[in-house]
Amino acid sequence: MNIKRFNISKPKKYTNKSGEEKTQWNNIGTITEFHKDDGVVSRIIEIPAIGLDANIFPFTPKNNPENQDQGHMDGDQSVPFPSGPDEEIL
């Protein structure tokens, strides 16, 4: 298994004493990707400031007929969440 980590940052523009515009990058969290040997990728997003520790799933538009009855965001259907980074995301 290969693990990749990414920072989640918010840019903030400011002007320094010399009058130059600069960008300060404030880290607000991380995304961790778990790449299994069989090609399955799972992702977890963590934003400590708001207590968020959640999984990430691909977004699929609800008007796509292929998504009917598969637990995607259609009406009142719920979205299946894996129990952790080792569970396959459908």
The stretch 71-85 carries a mean pLDDT of 44
Asked whether 51 and 42 are in contact (CB, 8 A), the reply is: no
> How many whole angstroms separate alpha carbon 51 and alpha carbon 2?
26
Residues 31-52 have pLDDT tens digits of 999 999 999 999 999 998 888 8
Residue with tokens 């290969």: 2
What's the confidence (pLDDT) of residue 29? 92
More confident residue, 36 or 73: 36
What's the confidence (pLDDT) of residue 64? 59
Helix, strand, coil percent values for the chain (each to nearest 5) = 5, 45, 50
Tokens of residue 76, six digits: 């009142």
Residue among 68, 51, 52 nearest 60 (CA):
68
